[in-house]
Amino acid sequence: MVVCFVHKLVLSGLGTVSGSPQSNQIYCTGELLRQVQQAQLFTDDKHFVDMPLRAKPEEVLGQFQQLVNATPGGGALSRQQLAAFVEAHFFPPGQELQAWEPPDWTSRYGLPPALRLWPAQRHLPGSPRALSLASPPPPLRGRGDSVCDFPSRDSFWIIEGLLLSGMAATAEGMIQNFLFLVEKFGHIPNGGRVYYERRSQPPFLTLMMESYLKHTNSTSFLRRNIHLLEAEYRFWQQQRAVNISTGGQQYQLNRYRVPESGEQGVLQACAHQPPQQSLWAELKTAAESGWDFSSRWFLPGPRSTQATLRDTKASEVVPVDLNAILCRVERLLATFYRELGEAQKADSFQAAHEQRVAAIRAVLWDDQAGSWFDYDLLQQRKSTAFYPSNVAPLWAECGVDAAVVEKALGYLQGSSALSYANGLPASLARTGQQWDLPNAWAPLQHMVIEGLAKSSLPQAQELAFTLAQRWVRMNLAVYERHHAMFEKVPSRSGGEAPLRCVAMGPVRLSPLQVGFGWTNGVVLQLLDRYGSRLTSTGALVTPMLPWIGTCLALALL
């Protein structure tokens, strides 16, 4: 089973989504979690909470309590005691999974080994109470070889790659997983673990359905599930909406916002000293956005190297891209309901779409700068720092006309972000966070490229191609050097490695994420759009190059 754009994980359920109260006390909160995380037994904060239990949760908790009661000095176990207890009562991460192969996979394209999919996986038989997985029933693909969750944002680009490669059945299975989660939770949690249930992630489910319908025209699948698409949208309107007054008018837009709770979660070891619950909530809110972490959430604004995670106030930011996504969701739901003959609902979502277009124009658009900007609720003003997400309304086609495109093009052309040869950086602030300089991320490139390419303006289309050419060349160079694909790349050449945030600071990227899902999905889409024009260091990209040729073969099915 090999394919160019998907990663390691395929999960199927055991009939239970939420963990038991006892397992939540192990993986979400409680004394065992607190002591293990503060002892920093593992270099990755997620390692412990992804370890399956060897016994029932209540038995493990009981034995831990006995050990605490027998330990002098208030029950604080030594690092050695904790390590021995964890080894005796938990399996290593990943033991809950077994291999599975998608039924619509074919190996006839002969991909090189470096681009092959890691074995897809299912849950092993056993009690879901002994796991931190919050798992849906159909198989589902994840994003990378060390990423054991299934984020819907990543899956949007993975699904695009699946569809281009003729794997509509697998794409449908992925969408079914997310529909199942919406049915159970009312939203899509931030990942497939019980400790993620309190926060969501960017609402791409309706966009996934749009992509699937373009390839299959399965109106029956839409009809059976449109109520769940609407349910996800309602979650954002009921739980993540905010009212903003400007120019004598009041507008409603959306933000990321995870309520405060007593859960310690997996960020415990990230702090040099215990932060307040409000900071935990802000860090989780930033994680809900997918931009974890970034100067984008540092208020009152990015401050170069002085900024830290303690400046994070993500819930006080009204993000351009989140509202662009929801703008597109509203337009799609209006279209879907009209196609299904439900005119009243179609009119309702069309009205919501028009209201959001007006709100984005009034609150986020800066006519003089020629761009949209995130809105700072604390300062009641726009945050004018550069992020590729600033121009997301172009991609979402949210209230965009020729004059707006021309101004947005001028904004991009006037930014130093275009000077980075490998791709647009996530920001122009060097903070040590992974969603800042120097990192360039595939979905951000794709949003900007697609937004420009949709325009009828020749200059915008040409810039889109230039950015696509840069991105494909960079990923080809990465592949030729490492025989692998990154989740992100440095935006400028010269040996600088991508950065990743751990323990409130940067460390070098951990082992390569082989064939990272959204990176390959974006490359496939760019090859599909520009394959006949793309060049590799002066020569046309041809199927003679195994990486590009394979992707072309898949993309042009």
pLDDT tens digits, one per residue of 86-115: 999 999 887 666 666 778 877 544 333 333
- For residue 525 the two structure tokens come to 């889409």
- Whole-number pLDDT of residue 436: 94
55 vs 52: CA distance, rounded Å: 9
pLDDT per residue as tens digits for the range 385-395: 999 999 999 99
- Whole-number pLDDT of residue 13: 27
DSSP assignment letter at 66:
H
Beta carbons of 269 and 249 less than 8 angstroms apart: no
- For residue 308 the two structure tokens come to 């830290």
127 vs 146: CA distance, rounded Å: 23
Total count of residues recorded for the chain: 557
Interacting residues of 430 by C-beta distance below 8 A, sequence separation 6+: 304, 305, 436, 437, 438
305 vs 191: CA distance, rounded Å: 30
Any idea what the Cα angle at residue 209 is, between residues 208 and 211, rounded to 5°? 65
363 vs 36: CA distance, rounded Å: 45
| Tokens 């859960």 belong to residue | 263
Give CA separation, 225 vs 89, 97, 215, 232, in Å: 41, 28, 17, 11
* Residues annotated as part of the active site: 292, 487
424 vs 69: CA distance, rounded Å: 55
SS3 call for 489: strand
- For residue 395 the two structure tokens come to 């991609």
Instruction: Of 330, 283, 262, give the one whose Cα is nearest residue 433.
Output: 283
Q: Which helix (H) or strand (E) holds 25?
A: helix 21-27
472 vs 535: CA distance, rounded Å: 9
pTM, entire model: 0.83
- Is omega for the bond preceding 92 within 30 degrees of 0, making it cis? no
396 vs 14: CA distance, rounded Å: 37
Strands (E) located in 247-405: 249-254, 317-318, 365-366, 371-372, 374-376, 381-383
555 vs 527: CA distance, rounded Å: 7
- Whole-number pLDDT of residue 135: 52
Strands (E) located in 334-391: 365-366, 371-372, 374-376, 381-383
539 vs 316: CA distance, rounded Å: 48
Which stretches in the chain have pLDDT values below 50? 1-19, 108-132, 140-148, 262, 264-273, 304, 495, 501-512, 538-557
Instruction: Of 93, 94, 96, give the one whose Cα is nearest residue 125.
Output: 96
Task: Indicate the pairing of strand 374-376 with strand 381-383.
Answer: antiparallel
Give CA separation, 113 vs 89, 118, 339, 352, 512, in Å: 37, 10, 43, 48, 15
- For residue 170 the two structure tokens come to 């697998």
- For residue 473 the two structure tokens come to 């060349």
Burial label for 481, CB within 10 Å (0-12, 13-18, 19+), is exposed
pLDDT per residue as tens digits for the range 200-228: 999 999 999 999 999 999 999 999 999 99
